[in-house]
């Protein structure tokens, strides 16, 4: 269900926001299917539902995760050499990650020159997310767009989501919640 703040009139909550952080896995610009006008969609990590038709399975876990893009791997093995717990290996099908062994040290990402390994989910402050969204303000004003919170399930991080909606509304940015 998509809730549009123009319909609900909800401007969020006002609370101590300085240290408030949320786990975000993507901030997508120029979204045209996530509410009216041109929007910036903030994708939250974490969803309790595990729907079979999930469009964003990388958003299900409420923890950061390593993602492997096998098609980008050139087989150089640099990532495997720096992986202390031995979570990475090269199989006949390509690069393989044993998530049970991975300690999220992120050394493999630094070692990979081909961007075959990335992390889904980073802790961001409210100011960091708002600053990213504000970069697209000219698009919002010219198209009737704004910021949409999606996921995962944004309400799993309700304090952060509400503070972000409130901050956007205070800046005159239209908001929507895709839940």
Same domain, yes or no: 95 and 110: yes
High-pLDDT (> 90) share of the chain, %: 74
User: How sure is the predictor about 3, in pLDDT bands with cuts at 50, 70 and 90?
Assistant: low
What is the pLDDT at residue 15?
47
Report the C-alpha gap between 102 and 131 in whole angstroms.
32
Same domain, yes or no: 174 and 127: yes
User: How sure is the predictor about 8, in pLDDT bands with cuts at 50, 70 and 90?
Assistant: very low
User: How sure is the predictor about 2, in pLDDT bands with cuts at 50, 70 and 90?
Assistant: low
Determine the structural domain holding residue 98 and report its residue range: 65-120
What tokens does 111 get? 């070692």
Same domain, yes or no: 134 and 46: yes
Average pLDDT, the chain: 90
Helix, strand, coil: what percent of the chain each, to 5? Answer: 30, 30, 40
Give the closest residue to 173 by CA, choosing from 27, 35, 71.
Answer: 35
Q: Over the stretch 53-82, which tens digit does the pLDDT of each residue have?
A: 998 899 999 999 999 988 899 999 999 999
Same domain, yes or no: 158 and 112: no
Reply yes or no on whether the pLDDT at 6 is more than 70. Answer: no
Give the chain's domain count.
Answer: 2
CATH at 110:
3.30.70.20
Give the closest residue to 133 by CA, choosing from 179, 173, 170, 161.
Answer: 173
pTM over the 0.85 mark: no
């Amino acid at each position: 269900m998509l809730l549009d703040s123009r319909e609900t009139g909800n401007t969020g909550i006002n609370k101590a926001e300085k240290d408030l952080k949320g786990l975000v896995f993507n901030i997508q610009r120029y979204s045209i299917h996530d509410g009216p006008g041109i929007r910036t969609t903030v994708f939250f990590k974490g969803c309790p539902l595990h729907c079979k038709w999930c469009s964003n399975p990388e958003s299900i876990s409420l923890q950061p995760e390593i993602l492997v893009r096998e098609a980008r791997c050139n087989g150089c093995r640099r990532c495997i050499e720096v992986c202390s717990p031995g979570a990475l290996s090269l199989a006949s099908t390509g690069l393989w990650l044993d998530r049970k062994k991975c300690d999220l040290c992120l050394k493999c990402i630094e070692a990979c020159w081909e961007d075959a390994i990335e992390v889904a989910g980073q802790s961001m402050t409210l100011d960091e997310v708002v600053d990213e969204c504000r970069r697209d303000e000219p698009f919002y004003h010219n198209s009737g767009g704004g910021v949409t919170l999606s996921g995962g399930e944004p309400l799993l991080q309700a304090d952060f989501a509400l503070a972000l909606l409130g901050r956007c509304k205070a800046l005159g940015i239209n908001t929507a919640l895709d839940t």
